[in-house]
Amino acid sequence: MEIIIRQDADAASHAAARVVARLVREKPNAVIGLATGSTPLMLYRELVRMHKDDGLDFGEISTFNLDEYVGLEKEHQQSYHSFMWENLFSQINIKPENVHIPDGMAADIPASCAVYEQAVIDAGGIDLQVLGIGSDGHIGFNEPTSSFASRTRIKTLTQQTVADNARFFDGDESKVPPPCITMGIGTIMDARMNLMLAFGEGKADAIAATVEGPVAAIMPASILQHHPSAKVFIDEPAASKLQLADYYRWVYDGKPEWQADA
């Protein structure tokens, strides 16, 4: 794991955006896994800026989103379909047919999950997966005790995630659908690179456990310790409980120029 600590969320997001942009330039038909929530917003804003100002071209890029609520129509304001179109897709030149988001309204959810997994395979696998992390350590909606071998499937949110996400639903926990579809941890681990973002003190415990704790299903993100190419971009508050923070800073600051955005 590479831990990149930046002064604030903006600087960390910009550093992460440079990694995504480098992939898009080197592999114009790359397959990118995307996340929702507050955390990736600044990353998406920077990618939109790079598209508008620098001509970053998403014309042949394909995307797969991590998750979706079960029971929300695509048009629902809080569906992850709406989130992605509002915050990224409507502002870049991605082709709608290259966008993949789990269907929370599928009549046959297990069948639609199998189709989603096959679509990832048919696209050639995910080159780079963007991840947030839940305060309970989830990646995607793989809540604590999710199998490390899991594939896209239905899950039930923890009460903590329901409480965390109520802010998007007028602060009303009863409006947050507990069932969701999420890419599995096995699917996430198959991505060629994982790029995690985490900001704020509320993520400090989960980040410390993920990076420096034991690998255990109770802390799903800890499986990234076994990933050959995982980068964790965090701000100072999210880094505040890391034992080796000074080491991570020293490594990043000493990177040679040619490695800087790799």
- Least Å distance, CB 249 to ligand PGA, is 23
Which residue among the candidates 51, 100, 138, 227 is catalytic per the annotation?
138
Q: What spatial distance separates the first Cα and last Cα of the chain, rounded to whole Å?
A: 13
Tokens linked to 155: 């899950």
Question: Closest CB to ligand PGA among 102 and 132?
Answer: 132
Spatial distance between the Cα atoms of 51 and 92, rounded to a whole number of angstroms: 6
Please tell me whether residue 142 binds ligand PGA under the rule CB under 6 A. Answer: no
For residue 143, indicate whether it is catalytic. Answer: yes
Please tell me whether residue 33 binds ligand PGA under the rule CB under 6 A. Answer: no
For residue 46, indicate whether it is catalytic. Answer: no
- Least Å distance, CB 163 to ligand PGA, is 12
Tell me 179's DSSP state. Answer: E
Please tell me whether residue 134 binds ligand PGA under the rule CB under 6 A. Answer: yes
Please tell me whether residue 39 binds ligand PGA under the rule CB under 6 A. Answer: yes
Total residues interacting with ligand PGA, rule: CB under 6 A: 6
Quickly tell me which residue has 């923890």 as its tokens.
158
Q: What is the β-pairing status of strands 193-198 and 67-69?
A: unpaired
Question: Closest CB to ligand PGA among 98 and 133?
Answer: 133
Longest dimension (CA), the chain: 53
- Least Å distance, CB 196 to ligand PGA, is 9
Question: Closest CB to ligand PGA among 109 and 238?
Answer: 238
- Least Å distance, CB 222 to ligand PGA, is 14
Q: Kind and range of the H or E element at 159?
A: helix 159-165
Spatial distance between the Cα atoms of 221 and 40, rounded to a whole number of angstroms: 17
> Judged by CB under 6 A, which stretch of 34-42, 55-63, 79-87, 230-238 contacts ligand PGA?
34-42
Please tell me whether residue 132 binds ligand PGA under the rule CB under 6 A. Answer: yes
- Asked whether the beta carbons of 131 and 139 are under 8 A apart, the reply is yes
- Asked whether the beta carbons of 211 and 232 are under 8 A apart, the reply is yes
Please tell me whether residue 184 binds ligand PGA under the rule CB under 6 A. Answer: no
- Residue 69 CA, chain-centre distance (Å), reads 15
Spatial distance between the Cα atoms of 183 and 76, rounded to a whole number of angstroms: 21
CA atoms 103, 108, 109, 111: torsion sign? negative
Q: Which residue is nearest to ligand PGA (CB)?
A: 37
Q: Which of 133, 196, 208, 219 binds ligand PGA (CB under 6 A)?
A: 133
Site residues for ligand PGA per CB under 6 A = 37-39, 132-134
